[in-house]
Structure 1
Amino acid sequence: MPEIISYSLLALYILGMLIILGYSLALGHLLLGFWKSKRAGERTPSDPIEWPRVTVQLPIFNELYVAERLLDAVTKIDYPLDRLEIQVLDDSTDETSDLIQKKIKEYAGFPFVYVHRTNRQGFKAGALKEGLAEAKGDFIAIFDADFLPTSDFLKKTIPYFQNDHVGMVQTRWTHLNEKHSLLTRLQAFALDAHFTIEQVGRNTLGAFINFNGTGGVWRKTCILDAGNWEDDTLTEDLDLSYRAQKKGWKFVYRPEIHSPAELPPIMSAIKSQQFRWNKGGAECAKKHAQSVLSSKFSLKTKLHAVAHLFNSSIFLVILMVSLASIGVAWMGLNGFSSSWTQIAGLFLFGFAIIALVYFVSHLYSRKRFWASLVESLLILPVFLSVSMGMALHNAQAVWEGLSGKKSPFIRTPKFNLESGKSNLKTNRYLKFSMPLTTWIEGGLSLVFFIMVLLAFRYEYFLFLPFHAMLAFGYGLVFITSFRSYSLGK
């Protein structure tokens, strides 16, 4: 019986490594697409003869700390006022509504349209859909409350719609508070890879890309043709993106157009955001994967779409591999020796490709090469460790998404700490209670730390780097989670 268990764990470990390898090869191909785009150069369309009507939608729900900042920013947008409409889609249930209406009155004559719903039916998707029904613009720009649209945003994005087949233009997120803490630096490191490598690579290779929920512009007819906003997933942006592209609409991603935004500064807020993103991604995979595979798109497009849709599922695999590695390492500690030990190289190869993607993205997203090189070498192992330490939390989200378990849309708290008008201790939106998984993360950190000690005790070092990163990653996630959840009490 022990041998059956041991070899079952080995089989799970090898299966997980092969999936990780496949995931890394897809990322590697996107990296090649990114380099291809650099060789091709950039082509910027000329301004239209007449600027079209544009509606800017601002979905807001209880945003006391950032609502005013957002409204101030949109009034600075450089665009003909007779061609512009700003829809403030306010679902707030607190003083945010009064604050917004007061702020709007300060800009008399500016084309604000205030829409307040008495219920949150459909959450953000519902607010966008109701606003769309009244929108006067032919194009719809969307900004979440934690964003600061630049003054030239519309004049840089709208020209791309002169191609009638373009249904959406997405811009790159940049970070207002990247240097606030280690956690914000790690988030910026991850998002830069998505916006620098993945989005560029997919767009260059003709694969499906996604509207990121904010910092982008839609053609109104594209939204309607694709079936309008739906609220049956937690990532309505990814869902609509796939429905539109399956109908033949073209998407454009422009990394040189920036949309600055705030990063969550504490782990409880990060986990809330990650849970929604990962569960919603899994829900969209369940909703769209089969139809994409049975479509007439090329095999390359289909494979990238599957990798894209099941992107969040990699956390299930990482959790499986990390837990199975305990048993496999125990086999090695007890003298089992066979060719399986060499298969670990497959994981290391995939791991190296993933690391390369993040390494390159950091170098290209920064202006100073040598400083960025040193920073990448320092932050990369920490980032990979914490990403693995998030596997339990994110795997739960993915499992719920794939299994069909529904949950409400939980907004990510905003802070605007840099303004000095708020702080972590007084933030009224920190109401998260600490889940059981946080204690399990602490336990897993201890387990992997013991595995590190056993590696030195028995001089068996095959899994030492992997287990050391897991011990550190789960430990850091546990400590930062414990501290942040206590803020809500």
Structure 2
Amino acid sequence: MPDILLYALLGIYLLGMLFIFLYSLAQGQLLFSFLKARKSLLKTQKISPQEWPLVTVQLPVFNELYVAERLIDAVAKLNYPKEKLEIQILDDSTDQTVDLIREKLKDYPNIHFKYIHRQDRTGFKAGALREGLTVAKGEFIAIFDSDFIPDPDFLQKTIPFFHSDKIGMVQSRWTHLNEEYSLLTKLQAFALDAHFLIEQIGRNHQGAFINFNGTGGIWRKACILDAGNWHDDTLTEDLDLSYRAQKKGWKFIYRPEIESPAELPPIMSAIKSQQFRWTKGGAECAVKHAKSVLGQNLPFRIKFHAMAHLFNSSIFIAVLLVSLSSIGVWFLGEKEFLSSEWLRMAGLFLMGFVLIALVYLVSYFYGKRSFFRSLGEAIIYLPLFLSVSMGMALHNAQAVWEGLSGKKSPFIRTPKFNLESKKQTLKANRYLTFKTPITTWIEGVLSLVFLVMVFLAIQTGNYLFLPFHAMLAFGYGLVFISSFKSYALGKS
């Protein structure tokens, strides 16, 4: 019986590795597409309009004491004809943010700010955007979350790309206000840069589905309405609307040279809150859109990348299953039940991790001035990033499973800090109210389990999974310790 169980674990391991390998092929193809797209991006022509259109800027806000004033100051500096600009503050706040915003708006009597305060949060962010759209006067709708500082020339840079009536949305590239704050912010930037460079450019270049990233983008209002307006049945209303619009034939444009600076969550509890919403919402959108995308008359390549895009958060389930089942596979190897053919197959699947690592390395080197300095940093950050990503597998796999199975949960905001202003400390943030979940304690247990596997490998000389288990032990350990410390902040 134990041997049957071990072979069952081998089957789970191989299935998980197959999923990771297929995902890596999609990533590798996006990398190839990105490399081809770099020259064409420089040649793209934009046509400035003879008359600038009316634009509405929407700022969804909920209890943002630390960043609301900064956001208003930044948007007030937008370089656009004042008579053609309307700024909606969509405020769902239930604390002093309401009074703070109203007082701040007195500083800008000559700018067309429209303050909309809802008494309830029906539909959360999607509901606020939908309600604001009903009274928005603009032909185009720009959206910025509260942790962003828009480029003053954002509208002048993006509006010219709407040179065709078929273009429904233009997305800019997120950059990072506090990347250098800590190791966690550096690793987040490492991950996000790969999405905003390799994935977005790669998909857009080959005409595949891309997504509005929830902020730092601008929509044609007619596109939003034609696609059915904002829905609140998923936690990622941005990805949902993106697919509904593109399925109806609207074209999206991604411009990496237009930057939208934003704040990265500096502590693990905030990161986990954001990650849970993104991964669960992505899974919910996969359930909602996968079947209809496969049923459309689209090239196989487009459908393949759409499935990889919609189900990309499922990679965390695969990583969790592979990591746990690898313990049984190790014991199979220790009992000499594994032939050399099985080992060669495992080696083939490991090529998937090489492709994924290459995507992140290329995005990291993009735009860097010093190759040798960047190489040294990459040698440190890549294994750290991969370890922490695997250490997040349990937390994110739970979110994905809830999304795929249809379990509903409320929209939990990511607390903002405005740490670069040096005006407050982490302990002073009143929005850190997260409770330590049971998964955090399990992450600590998993760290110890894989640490034991490392010691067993060294003791027996069976090094089949030594690097993998060492990275898992470190990743789960770092996630556990940083989670525990950040949850403790909310209790202090």
Indicate yes or no: 2:329 matched with 1:337: no
- The 3-state SS of whatever aligns with 1:432 is coil
Specify the alignment match of 2:97 in structure 1: 96
Code of the aligned partner of 2:30 = L
What is the rounded CA distance, in whole Å, between the counterparts of 2:247 and 2:214 in structure 1?
Answer: 18
Map of 1:480 onto structure 2: 482
Paired position in structure 1 for 2:309: 308
Query: Partner letter of residue 192 of structure 1?
Result: D
Paired with 1:84 and 1:344, the residues of 2 have a C-alpha distance of 58
In structure 2, distance between residues paired with 1:131 and 1:366: 40
2:403 maps to what in 1?
401
Q: Which residue, out of 436, 447, 471, partners 2:449?
A: 447
1:382 and 1:420 map into 2 onto residues whose CA distance is: 28
Q: Does residue 1:153 correspond to 2:147, yes or no?
A: no
Letter of the structure 2 residue corresponding to residue 159 of structure 1: P
Q: Which amino acid aligns with 1:35?
A: L
Distance 1:70 1:33 in 2: 35
Give how far 1:91 is off. Answer: 0.4
Instruction: Name 2:370's counterpart in structure 1.
Output: 368
State the distance in 2 between where 1:263 and 1:455 align: 38
* Corresponding residue of 1:9: 9
The amino acid of 2:3's aligned partner reads E
Q: Which amino acid aligns with 2:335?
A: N
Secondary structure, counterpart of 1:208 in structure 2: coil
Name which of structure 1's ranges 270-279 and 374-383 shifts more when overlaid on structure 2: 374-383
* Aligned-pair CA distance for 1:378: 1.2
Take 2:385 and 2:149, find their aligned partners in 1: how far apart are those partners? 26
Give the aligned partner of residue 457 of structure 1. 459
* Alignment check: 8 A CA contact 2:126 2:230 kept: yes
The residue that corresponds to 1:425 in the other structure is 427
CA distance in 2, matches of 1:335, 1:224: 62
The 5 A counterparts of 1:106-145 are 106-145=107-146
Does the 8 Å contact 1:18/1:346 carry over to 2?
A: no
Q: How far apart are the structure 2 equivalents of 1:240 and 1:128?
A: 12
Runs of 4+ in 1 over 4 A off after TM superposition: none
Q: Is the 8 A contact 1:187 1:263 kept in 2?
A: yes
Contact 2:229/2:241 (<8 A) preserved:
yes
Amino acid at match of 2:107: E
Q: Secondary structure at the match of 2:428?
A: coil
- 2-side partners of 1:137 and 1:341: how far apart? 60
3-state SS of the aligned residue for 2:260?
strand
Contact 1:37 1:200 in 2 (8 A): yes
- Asked if structure 2 preserves the Cα contact closer than 8 Å seen for 1:289 and 1:309, the reply is yes
Aligned with 1:355: secondary structure?
helix
Q: TM-score, normalised by structure 1?
A: 0.99
What aligned pairs does 1:71-82 form with structure 2 within 5 A after superposition?
71-82=72-83
1:230 match: 231
Q: Where do 5+ consecutive residues of structure 2 fail to align?
A: none
Partners in 2 of 1:282 and 1:189 — Cα distance? 23
Considering only aligned residues, what root-mean-square deviation do their CA atoms show, in Å? 0.8
* Cα shift readout 1:341-372 (whole Å, capped 9, x = no counterpart): 22221232000000000000000043332222
Q: Residue 425 of structure 2 aligns to a residue in which SS?
A: coil
2:168 maps to which residue? 167
Q: Secondary structure at the match of 2:426?
A: coil
Instruction: Report whether the alignment pairs 1:40 with 2:21.
Output: no
Conservation of the 8 A alpha-carbon contact between 2:47 and 2:163: no
Q: Distance in 2 between matches of 1:216 and 1:323?
A: 40
Find the counterpart in structure 1 of residue 207 from structure 2.
206
2:256 aligns to what SS in structure 1? strand
Mean alpha-carbon deviation: is it higher for 470-479 or for 418-427?
418-427
SS of 1:222's equivalent? helix
Q: Which residue of 2 aligns with 1:262?
A: 263
Aligned to 1:216: 217
Deviations 1:69-113 (A, max 9, x none): 000000111000000000000000000010001000111111100
- Report if the CA contact (8 A) 1:17-1:346 is conserved: no
Of the three residues 406, 410, 413, the one matched with 1:411 is: 413
**How far has the Cα of 1:181 moved from its partner?**
0.2
Q: Quickly say closer, same or farther: Cα 1:368–1:226, change in 2 above 3 A.
A: same
Q: Percent identity at matched positions?
A: 70
| TM-score, normalised with respect to structure 2 | 0.98
The question of whether the paired residues in 2 share the 8 Å contact of 1:169 and 1:217 is answered with yes
SS of the residue corresponding to residue 412 of structure 1 reads coil
Other structure's SS at 1:393 match: helix
SS in 1 for 2:241: helix
Cα separation, 1, equivalents of 2:408 and 2:327 = 33
**1:381 aligned partner, one-letter code:** P
**SS of the counterpart of 2:369?**
coil
The match for 1:299 is 300
Q: Which amino acid aligns with 1:147?
A: F
Q: SS of 1:425's equivalent?
A: helix
CA separation in 1, counterparts of 2:41 and 2:485?
46
List runs of 5+ in structure 1 lacking aligned partners.
none
